[in-house]
Structure 1
Amino acid sequence: MTGDEATRRWKGLLRGAAPWGVGLLLGVLAVGPGLGRGFVLRYDMVFVPDPPLGPVQLGAGEGFPRAVPSDAAAALLAKALPADLVQAGLLLAVFVLSCAGAARLVPGPLVARLAAGVFYAWTPYIAERLLLGQWALLLGYAGLPWVLSAAVRLAAPRDLPRLVTALLPAAVGGFSSAVLSALVAVPAAAARPGPAAARLRSALLAAAAVAAVSLPWLVPALSAAGGGARTDPGAVDLFAARADTPFGAAGSLLLLGGVWNAQAVPDGLGHPFFAACRLALALAALAGWLLLLRRGSLGPAGPGLTAAAIAGTAVALLGTAAPGRDLLRLLIEAWPGFGALRDGQLYTAPLALLQAAGLGGAAAWLVHSAAGAARPDRAGAAAAALLLLAPPVLLPGLAWGAAGRLAPVEYPAEWTRVQRLVDGDPRPGSVLVLPWSAYRGLGVLGPRGAGGADGADGAGGPGGVVLDPAVKLFERPAVWNDDLRVADGGAVRAAEGEDPAARAVAGLAARPGGADAPGAGALGVRYVLVERAAPDAADSGPRHLSENRFLSLVEASETVHEGPSLALYRVPDEHVDAVKEDLSVLEVTGWLVTVGSIVWSLVASSSNLVSMRWPRPEGTEPRKENPS
């Protein structure tokens, strides 16, 4: 090998490795203190020590399987690594896959590819969803560039392994991740060049691939929808996109913000200067996208992603106007599955990918901005470098654990003791979790010196809340109040929960005298877990150990554990009428099909990395593109 050949080889390796390295750097910068030992707990992001892996985590039960299969995947990984390291690795994977995937979409110089990758990995979308704790959704977001690339190459069934492999992050992420992947994959496959029948076949193959990796949650979700689980149509207003910048709800969505929860907005996002600069960046990205489309640089991915971004933005805008909200309510009343459309901002993920690729296109144009220049223009290259740096500079609130809101905490030892007591009992029956509310202040884990949090936001600041960790702690079902209360205009509004078991317990507690042991046992409750000083997220102070509605039940039950943070009670055997939760034949079949499809795709493609080169239409010859 000559010296020139060696130099070209090393440059090629650097070009390929740079987006992965930059993605890792962004992940370290964003997660920051969350990479230390301990667990980052924030809203829906709940990891527990020694996470269980049983039928409940695989989809057995009555409610909608929102944590399937993400909880099962995390538990499986925790068999090999400590659970807190698994969490840190999954969070880093979001940034690495996002940056590397978006970078490989864009043709042109390395600075242009990195500009696309940095933009996609550092957006208000990622910041807000991370502050909501939706790590599983973000895995699907990170996989969208790979899904797009594989979908535009889907000409025949022989191409399915490539797409199924690209869908692996969505398969782990579950429901919302799969919906986003379908939103990108189906239009991209349908945009392939060729006759209408061939395009339709490609779109159907893409839909089939998404369905194949979604069966672990799709089968129990359909069963739950027919078995009493429901979605509250009245919650449409609560989850609609809202303004978190000076440009209103629509402008916030254009800037990839607009989340419904004000506590999930990163610091500085709404500052007029940062917002104005981000608006300029978004407009530059859209201009770059139009340039890429005009030149045909993205091949069939261009029209496909354009269609996906338009459709996703339209869904996001539905909840911002009264007619759209009325339509959503009608759809949800007709079928609970349409409840997935309530959280409109979620569907701007394809727009984020479009803007990322467009920014890369704008950076490539700047590098060659001198008309007809055979060599890169230095001033243009400097401007492109500024585009590369702009996303983190204009969104500093995501850095270092979202300004400290994502910091690790530790579980007191008694949580593990209680887990072993409950899971060591072979008799069936659920665990009723009290106080009767879904979210907790992190003070439930005790003072920081005892291995817990200090009541801070996220994991340190005032007002930080998290989905009760107890609902993720046991192999058996946990019954908890899954009503969601949201502060709205100074008042607290509630969205009715989905789980029929929770509604049954709430009805029992509403009777005169409250819940009792015979009534709870008849509903399948065997254990009652009381978190002694668990602050309610919507109240100003802690709730008492035994709320009046459940006092009779606790007094009639046997004390199994009494500790500083937790008290565990067992309902007398003569009252408990319960059967062991297990997967149905259809649910087992769904898992077998999904796992088999993934294994087959990995073997058939011989790699879990998807080629990102766009296919050329038949009969065309490669040509050198005019950089002007």
Structure 2
Amino acid sequence: MTHTRASLAPLLGLVAGLLALGPALAPGFVLSYDMVFVPDPAVTSAMFGGTGGFPRQVPSDAVAAALSFVPYSQQFILLSIFVLAAWGVARLVPGPWPGKAAAAVFYVWNPYVAERLLLGHWALLLGYAGLPWVLHAVLRRRRLWAALLPAAIGGFAAMNLTLLVLVAGLVVLRGRGAVKAGLTFTAFALPWLIPSLLNASGTSTDPSGVDVFASRADTPFGTLGSLLSLGGIWNAETVPPGYGPFLPSVLLLALVCACLICLVRARTPLSRAALYAGAAGLALACTGITGPGRAALRALVEFQPVFGVLRDGQLYLGPLALAAALGLGRLASVRLLVPLAPALPVVPLLLLPGLAWGAFGSLKAVDFPDDWHAAQKIVNADPVDGLALSLPWGAYRRFEWNGGRAVMDPLPRMLARHVVWDDGFQVGDTELRNEDPLAVRASEILRNPGDLTAPLSAEGYRYVVISKDASADALRARLTAATLVLDGPTLLVFQLKHTG
């Protein structure tokens, strides 16, 4: 392949990213579920797993904070996912350029990418973008450390996804280089592995999350059919527009199955490794959809909270998407399809138009209101130690200034002190219990009637920050002994007179 054609793969990824992100590339911050980027993020121990709760944002939050001084750093990160993913897959596909292009576009334009992007799992998608690079590195037995960098930045979910590909490659190699690969992987996992083990004794993970986060049917073909179509996410709000109807679903399912069959027929070390990893990922995704599987997962989570990483099974479909993309690349070289091969890169866009333009505007960059900046300055300038409590009690917020889109509480990333927030989550009618011991205690205090000032002060709280919504007045009435230091259009900030 000439140098010119080699440069087309990352260019394809860039074009796909521009088309997919659309309004998310405007100035501001894209806030969607777990995707929380903030202005002037505070460097705290939480970025390195130094507080209670499972370190899900380690080290991704630290990397995002380190890049925050660069204009449009979030947009750069999101676009890099598309570029790295498309480029990596194209390098793996043998044969003519149309096959490489088709594989590259499919790998970045499918239901798995769409649903995880809408759920805000940018750190996971960094690991997803690195999967083809890891597979190439482990089979060639060189530069694995470089291939692991995107997943290492992403953290625990990205690294666990990558582990499936790494192990599959080592199985194909019959264990050759396993020790070196294992040591390299472990070294890159240490940033989140160490705090997760250190916090294990004080952290609890609710086993009922196994049922809440189990894969769901988002096509007419049931849960298994949805997973084979690379969908099946547990959150119905993150299903891209137009994905569920019968015709695009059946065409997409047929395409994935045809790609996998084509890859089976290839019988190369690369194809076998991709298929092994994809099968393992599909098996993990299916575990939570059966009664015995859910029971086994709940038992594991009760035994050790770290097994909570297995609750969201659909997360592990990334390698199956890689296998399908590689299969599509080979499908383009089938004799009957060669005349149509130049049109194949457009097929993923036609089957999933709902990913375009920020999923029809579901992803959009916004600015934080002025009183959020003011609250950040007030709290961070205070030299007196103490905790901050974020209210109302709830993990996800639907701010009017964010278009009503759900987003995880941004305050813990903005304030330079430990912010206690509701990390228990509520999904539908199921409320998961808190993981951080401080959040467990705060929840107990909030359930008791009466003024909150004295009990919060006794627990070491210095600030209470309330996002204005329907419950703000009731919460304000419970802080009569606290000093109101900011009354903005969207925020109330109270300072407590005494700390414990």
Does TM, scored on the shorter chain, surpass 0.5? yes
Distance 1:473 1:545 in 2: 24
User: Which of 127, 130, 150 in structure 1 is aligned with 2:117?
Assistant: 130
User: Corresponding residue for 2:459?
Assistant: 523
User: Corresponding residue for 1:56?
Assistant: 46
Q: 1:217, CA displacement in angstroms?
A: 1.4
Identity within the alignment, %: 46
1:412 aligns to 2:369 (yes or no): yes
Letter in 2 for 1:127: A
Report if the CA contact (8 A) 2:264-2:275 is conserved.
no
Give a deviation string over 1:568-599, Cα, whole Å, max 9, x none: 111223xx23xxxxxxxxxxxxxxxxxxxxxx
User: Which of 292, 303, 308 in structure 2 is aligned with 1:339?
Assistant: 308
User: Corresponding residue for 1:507?
Assistant: 444
Q: Counterpart of 2:450 in 1: which secondary structure?
A: coil
Q: Counterpart of 2:360 in 1: which secondary structure?
A: helix
User: Corresponding residue for 1:496?
Assistant: 433
Letter in 1 for 2:324: Q
Distance 1:362 1:291 in 2: 10
Report if the CA contact (8 A) 2:31-2:402 is conserved.
no
User: Corresponding residue for 1:168?
Assistant: 149
User: Which of 69, 75, 83 in structure 2 is aligned with 1:88?
Assistant: 75
Report if the CA contact (8 A) 2:44-2:418 is conserved.
no
Alignment of 1:448-467 (within 5 A): 452-455=401-404, 464-467=405-408
Alignment of 1:255-334 (within 5 A): 255-293=229-267, 296=268, 300-334=269-303
Distance 1:427 1:59 in 2: 23
Distance 2:359 2:190 in 1: 34
Q: 1:244, CA displacement in angstroms?
A: 0.5
Q: 1:551, CA displacement in angstroms?
A: 4.4
Report if the CA contact (8 A) 1:186-1:206 is conserved.
no
User: Corresponding residue for 1:594?
Assistant: none
Distance 1:356 1:181 in 2: 17
Distance 1:454 1:174 in 2: 29
User: Corresponding residue for 2:178?
Assistant: 203
User: Corresponding residue for 2:419?
Assistant: 478
Q: 1:419, CA displacement in angstroms?
A: 0.8
Q: Counterpart of 2:259 in 1: which secondary structure?
A: helix
Give a deviation string over 1:288-340, Cα, whole Å, max 9, x none: 202322xx2xxx33332222211111110011111111111111111111111
Q: 1:403, CA displacement in angstroms?
A: 0.7
Q: 1:238, CA displacement in angstroms?
A: 0.9
Report if the CA contact (8 A) 2:453-2:496 is conserved.
no
Q: Counterpart of 1:545 in 2: which secondary structure?
A: helix
User: Corresponding residue for 2:195?
Assistant: 220
User: Corresponding residue for 2:127?
Assistant: 140
Distance 1:557 1:205 in 2: 57
Report if the CA contact (8 A) 1:190-1:202 is conserved.
no
1:556 aligns to 2:484 (yes or no): no
User: Corresponding residue for 2:158?
Assistant: 177
Distance 2:275 2:260 in 1: 11
Distance 1:475 1:365 in 2: 58
Q: 1:189, CA displacement in angstroms?
A: 2.3
Aligned residues: 500
Q: Counterpart of 1:530 in 2: which secondary structure?
A: strand
User: Corresponding residue for 2:58?
Assistant: 68
1:119 aligns to 2:106 (yes or no): yes
Q: 1:512, CA displacement in angstroms?
A: 4.5
Report if the CA contact (8 A) 2:395-2:424 is conserved.
yes
Distance 1:382 1:555 in 2: 75
Letter in 2 for 1:564: P
Report if the CA contact (8 A) 1:531-1:545 is conserved.
no
User: Corresponding residue for 2:226?
Assistant: 252
Report if the CA contact (8 A) 1:140-1:178 is conserved.
yes
User: Corresponding residue for 2:94?
Assistant: 107
Distance 1:183 1:572 in 2: 52
Distance 1:142 1:524 in 2: 43
Note closer, same or farther for the CA distance 1:388–1:524 as it changes in structure 2 (3 Å cut).
same
User: Corresponding residue for 1:21?
Assistant: 11
Report if the CA contact (8 A) 1:139-1:169 is conserved.
yes
Distance 1:108 1:401 in 2: 33
Q: TM-score, normalised by structure 1?
A: 0.77
Note closer, same or farther for the CA distance 1:524–1:218 as it changes in structure 2 (3 Å cut).
farther
Distance 1:115 1:172 in 2: 28
Q: Counterpart of 1:63 in 2: which secondary structure?
A: coil
Report if the CA contact (8 A) 1:55-1:475 is conserved.
no
Q: 1:414, CA displacement in angstroms?
A: 1.7
Distance 2:224 2:237 in 1: 19
Alignment of 1:360-439 (within 5 A): 360-366=329-335, 369=336, 380-439=337-396
Report if the CA contact (8 A) 2:242-2:352 is conserved.
yes
Report if the CA contact (8 A) 1:528-1:569 is conserved.
yes
User: Which of 155, 168, 181 in structure 2 is aligned with 1:187?
Assistant: 168
1:543 aligns to 2:471 (yes or no): yes
1:355 aligns to 2:324 (yes or no): yes
Report if the CA contact (8 A) 1:288-1:360 is conserved.
no
Instruction: Report runs of 4+ in structure 1 exceeding 6 Å deviation.
Output: none
Distance 1:97 1:524 in 2: 45
1:45 aligns to 2:35 (yes or no): yes
Q: Counterpart of 1:497 in 2: which secondary structure?
A: coil
Report if the CA contact (8 A) 1:435-1:546 is conserved.
no
Distance 1:143 1:273 in 2: 32
Distance 2:305 2:386 in 1: 27
Distance 1:515 1:221 in 2: 32
Q: 1:215, CA displacement in angstroms?
A: 1.4
Distance 2:329 2:295 in 1: 39
Give a deviation string over 1:378-414, Cα, whole Å, max 9, x none: xx43322233211111000000000111111111122
Q: 1:429, CA displacement in angstroms?
A: 1.9
Distance 2:245 2:328 in 1: 22
Letter in 1 for 2:195: P
Distance 1:112 1:454 in 2: 40
Q: Counterpart of 2:463 in 1: which secondary structure?
A: strand
Distance 1:484 1:327 in 2: 22
Q: 1:514, CA displacement in angstroms?
A: 5.9
Distance 1:45 1:267 in 2: 20
Note closer, same or farther for the CA distance 1:525–1:22 as it changes in structure 2 (3 Å cut).
same
Letter in 2 for 1:104: R
Distance 2:228 2:116 in 1: 16
Letter in 1 for 2:245: H
Q: 1:221, CA displacement in angstroms?
A: 0.9
Distance 2:451 2:59 in 1: 35
Distance 1:173 1:350 in 2: 16
Q: Counterpart of 1:437 in 2: which secondary structure?
A: coil
Report if the CA contact (8 A) 2:394-2:421 is conserved.
yes
Q: 1:472, CA displacement in angstroms?
A: 1.9
Distance 2:495 2:65 in 1: 26
